[in-house]
Amino acid sequence: MEQIFNDLCDKCRKHCESFVHLPCGRGGQHLMNDIEIDALIKEINYNDLLALLTVEKGSTAKIMINLISLHEPDEIMYKREHV
């Protein structure tokens, strides 16, 4: 990749610079896939929201989180035409 990088057009270079891998597991030997990343995001959001609500609402925080919709807005979700 490094050998041909300068031969790429600006659009391709920008795409390559934006592409990253998220290593995980023992010694970073596993690359996370989209499903794992989505699950990680939901878990982080859940834990952060729980921590915030626990400070304000105490033990009722878990009940509140279960009642709140934690789905992403349709405006930021990929659609068939994007793919």
Closest CA to 70 of 52, 51, 44: 44
Q: What is residue 34's predicted lDDT score, i.e. its pLDDT?
A: 81
Count how many domains the chain has.
1
- Note whether residue 15 is domain-resident: no
Residues in Cβ contact with 70 at an 8 Å cutoff, skipping those fewer than 6 apart: 42, 45, 46, 49
- Residue 68: which domain range? 22-83
pLDDT tens series, the chain, 83 aa? 778 888 999 988 888 887 777 888 898 888 888 888 888 888 888 888 888 888 777 777 778 777 877 666 666 666 666 54
Closest CA to 64 of 48, 53, 73: 53
Reading the block at residue 78, the tokens are 């990929």
- Note whether residue 7 is domain-resident: no
- Note whether residue 12 is domain-resident: no
Q: What is residue 39's predicted lDDT score, i.e. its pLDDT?
A: 86
Report pTM.
0.52
- Note whether residue 16 is domain-resident: no
Residues in Cβ contact with 24 at an 8 Å cutoff, skipping those fewer than 6 apart: 30, 31, 32, 36
- Note whether residue 58 is domain-resident: yes
